[in-house]
Amino acid sequence: MVKKSIKKERRKILVQTQEKCLQRHKTANAEKIPEGDVHIPNKWKRQELVGRQYREKKKVKRETRKQRQEARARGEEVDVPVTTTIEMMREADVTMLPPEGDEEVRADERMDEFRHTFPTPPPTSEVLPLGQAAAGEDTPSTVPTTVEAGQDEGEEEEEQREPVEPKIMLTTSMAYPSERSYGLIKELVEVVPGLQYFRKKHFPITKICDFANNRGFTAVVVLSEDRKHEPSSLHITSLPEGPTSYWRLTSLELGADMKHGATCNPEDRPELLLNGFGTRLGHRLIIIAMLC
């Protein structure tokens, strides 16, 4: 009798425990799914709630899209949601130049050392609207049609000069470059049109610049190495009066190191993505474009 009563009591406790677990499971499924970050210690429970939240959001989007399509089919005007981009959320920068340009910046660009290297003026120059191109031209002219007050005939003739074809001399700051530097030099010669490599030997950089200026080169590029004999920087100097820019080289990976790398065609000109250089400093950084 005692054993039967003990078994009966255990069976009763087991049934009560199962009922509590079932009730707890129903309560958890009926509770509201938390929004945002879910802080639940149990990993499986946390994944379950996150999955339910994701499925409910997808369901709401699907129903909203269906209602929008049905309203468009009935001929009603539907508000199309606008995707939020990084550019839309970007804060206004006071250093950015206005689209219509700035008179002071135009004056600086007229005295720019690279005004004869670029085939067209920088983006802030005045552009004639389509349909008002000069006679005999197929495309809108980007050259100002009038000469500003205070500009003499010499400056006008200088502005009308033809753009100069880039001719660049490439050398190194050390007499004997490493094998890694030779690999970079080879790829630069293949990629950049008009680039010629000259060994430095024991000549100083000043004499090399004078030699390049006398031979009609428009710029000199000097490649430097660090203590580990890795290419570390590039100095780009415009001849004959400058300016000079300094560019650091980090995480260098040559084409030979890339998997399934293709060879370069020297006849093709590389495309430089220089979008977004809308500040005055950005206009000066376009110095890299003179290489192409």
Give the pLDDT score at 18. Answer: 77
**Residue 19 and residue 69 in one domain:** no
Which helix or strand (DSSP H or E) is residue 285 part of? helix 280-285
**Residue 22 and residue 62 in one domain:** no
Residue 230 is part of which domain span? 168-252+264-291
- Alpha carbon distance 224, 248 (integer Å): 10
The arithmetic mean of pLDDT across residues 240-254, rounded, is 84
Does 122 reside within a domain? no
Instruction: Using the predicted structure, report yes or no on whether residue 150 has a pLDDT greater than 60.
Output: no
- Residue 237 half-sphere exposure, CB side, CA atoms within 13 Å? 20
Q: Are 171 and 222 in contact (CB under 8 A)?
A: yes
For residues 125 and 193, which has the higher predicted lDDT (pLDDT)? 193
Give the pLDDT score at 36. Answer: 52
The arithmetic mean of pLDDT across residues 123-145, rounded, is 38
Instruction: Using the predicted structure, report yes or no on whether residue 146 has a pLDDT greater than 60.
Output: no
- Alpha carbon distance 169, 218 (integer Å): 8
Q: Predicted confidence band at 247 (pLDDT cuts at 50, 70, 90)?
A: confident
**Residue 68 and residue 20 in one domain:** no
Which helix or strand (DSSP H or E) is residue 195 part of? strand 195-197
- pTM strictly above 0.75: no
Give the pLDDT score at 66. Answer: 92
Give the pLDDT score at 63. Answer: 93
Does 109 reside within a domain? no
Give the pLDDT score at 238. Answer: 83
Total number of domains in the chain: 3
Query: For residue 287, what are the contacts with CB-CB under 8 A and spacing of at least 6?
Result: 114, 236, 238, 243, 245
Q: Are 232 and 174 in contact (CB under 8 A)?
A: no
**Residue 25 and residue 55 in one domain:** no
CA 132 to chain centre: 33
